[in-house]
Chains A and B, each alone.
Chain A
Amino acid sequence: MNNNAYNINIFSGGAELLFDNKRHYNIDLPNKDTWKLGDLLIWLRDNLLSERPELFIQNNSVRPGILVLVNDSDWELMVSSDLWYLICSLCQILCKYAPCP
């Protein structure tokens, strides 16, 4: 299996609105030594995002209100040790988005 195949599982809670209203993506990341979560989020913005990129990434991180889960865990548990947590293959990334009022 390709080491760079990721199952980006769901954009839900409103985040899917920024991604062409689709909740599931299977993606192939280009070859690179280490893929960190931060790299992946930027890659998502540049390659999958369909509209309003400023509602996804701001100041080099996700916009406040976007919650990221990796394998069903809050990524804020990981960023404390390494801001750009190294992702393992076949991670499920889930972005939850709390929309504006």
Chain B
Amino acid sequence: MPMCSRKCGKNAVLKRPKTGDALCKECFFEVFENEIHFTITRANLFKPGSTVAIGASGGKDSTVLAYVLKLLNEKYKYGLKLVLLSIDEGITGYRDDSLKTVEQNRDDYEMELKVLSYKDLYGWTMDEIVKQIGRKNNCTFCGVFRRQALDRGAMQLNVDYLSTGHNADDIAETVLMNILRGDLARLKRCTSIITDSGDGIPRVKPLKYTYEKEIVMYAYFRKLVYFSTECVFAPNAYRGHARILLKDLEKIDPSVIMNIIQSGESLVINEDRKLPSLTKCQKCAYVSSQQICKACILLEGLNRGLPKLGIGKSSRVNKLITENNRQNNCCNDNCNKNCTNLVKNNV
């Protein structure tokens, strides 16, 4: 069995994908935590005295994030108040169980916990949405709604930052995905450690340079309780492809993950290129690149019995709305008055 690369005399327990070093348990804990501390201090991520919400799913990433932030906050005196924020999508057999794990985190780490549900925010659970839309496009709803739900929760908690457990593998995957899709606007911002969504609360990713393997190993050696069931609905197919591609590349050379992140950070997007500018949704005032935000369009579709409305391009959405209006003359009776706005604004 190889010895620890740091010459502490102990047997190594894991090989770090990031550096190739073989480390013993204690040295691994030290470098793992120190690297996150270094990431936080180098980016000047948190102002002392602020409140930070941790987006907590009960999974490995957010559990490790909560544990390490608490530990570093005490060790290095960041002076932060940490709170947990969870979203209940309403997925039976998945989220109901993982929320129990989050409640365990709340007790173990002595943090306040707030849970917001899709049902309360949007009037629909994911179970109900899947009944309407089927299992093909449901991840679009879930992703769009979760992002907004987290922001709303952060606002209700009156926090200064919203931190999420996105790890290095996630970020590299997103860079690849945005390149494959030619999505320059997202490519430009997806590697930022801190993103400011207009007047919203800054989102921060303290684990952006932390490999997934090291997170799993850290949680295992620290004996952290986390939830590991896959979502019961079909996974996001496109992301799945990017993930497989990345994992295959990682097998050849684990440093590709850091290299992809670095490339993403160094990219300069041609300024002549027209990028959508951020504005406010005319319906819910949430930050959006369109007049009506994606969440409102998706919701409108669900409420009108046109669940596919928000899936795909906006030109198609326009066509669908016009067609539907002609058929139903919908704004006269059964429809809520929001759709008058929708037509007026020509979404």
Report which A residues bind B (CB closer than 8 A).
Answer: 12-14, 17, 64-65, 67, 69, 72-74, 76-78, 80, 96-101
Please state if B15 and A99 are interface contacts (CB–CB under 8 Å): no
Q: Are A96 and B220 within 8 A (Cβ)?
A: yes
Q: Is B127 an interface residue (CB 8 A)?
A: no
Interface positions of B from 227 to 273, Cβ below 8 Å from A: 228-230, 235-236, 239-240, 243, 247-248, 250-251
Please determine whether A101 and B15 come into contact, CB atoms closer than 8 angstroms.
no
- Name the CB-closest residue of A to B215: A98
Question: Which of B12, B235, B243 interacts with A77 by CB under 8 Å?
Answer: B12
Q: Give chain A residues whose Cβ lies under 8 Å from the Cβ of B228.
A: 12-14, 17, 97, 99
Q: How large is the interface on B (under 10, 10 to 19, 20 to 34, 35 or more residues)?
A: 20 to 34
Contact A13 B220 (CB under 8 A): yes
User: Could you show 13 A-B contacts with beta carbons less than 8 Å apart?
Assistant: A13-B216, A14-B229, A64-B247, A67-B213, A67-B217, A69-B220, A73-B1, A73-B12, A74-B15, A76-B15, A77-B14, A99-B228, A101-B170
Say whether A101 contacts B236, CB under 8 Å.
Answer: yes
Of B13, B219, B226, which contacts A72 at CB under 8 A? B13
Least CB distance, B8 to chain A, in whole angstroms? 16
| Min C-beta distance of A85 to chain B, whole Å | 11
Does B60 have its Cβ within 8 Å of any Cβ on chain A? yes
Residues on A with beta carbons closer than 8 Å to the beta carbon of B14: 73-74, 76-77
A residues within 8 A CB of B250? 64
Task: Say which residue of A72, A74, A78, A98 sits within 8 Å of B212 (CB atoms).
Answer: A98
Q: What is the CA–CA distance of A54 and B286 in the complex, to the nearest angstrom? A: 42
- Chain B residues closer than 8 Å to A100, beta-carbon distance: 230, 235, 240, 243
Roughly how many angstroms separate A64 CA and B229 CA in the complex, as a whole number? Answer: 17
10 extra interchain contacts, Cβ-Cβ under 8 A, other than A73-B14, A96-B216? Answer: A17-B228, A64-B250, A65-B247, A67-B213, A80-B15, A98-B60, A98-B216, A99-B229, A100-B243, A101-B235
Tell me whether A13 and B247 are in contact in the complex, defined as CB-CB below 8 angstroms, given that A98-B212, A101-B236 are known contacts.
no
Complex contacts, B178 vs chain A, CB 8 Å = none
Give bound CA distance, A73 to B1, whole Å.
9
Q: How far is the CB of A19 from chain B (nearest CB, A)?
A: 13
Residue of A nearest to B61 (CB): A98
Which residues of A are found within 8 Å of B251, using beta-carbon distances?
Answer: 64
Complex interface: chain A residues within 8 A of B22 (CB)? 77
- A101 B1 Cβ-Cβ under 8 A: no
Residue of B nearest to A63 (CB): B247
User: How far is B22's CA from A78's CA once the two chains are assembled, in angstroms?
Assistant: 11
In angstroms, Cα B170 to Cα A98, docked, is 12
Q: List the 7 shortest-distance A-B pairs measured between CB atoms, nearest first.
A: A64-B247, A14-B228, A74-B14, A76-B15, A99-B230, A73-B13, A100-B235
Flag whether B2 is at the interface (Cβ < 8 A): yes
| Docked CA distance A49–B216 (Å) | 22
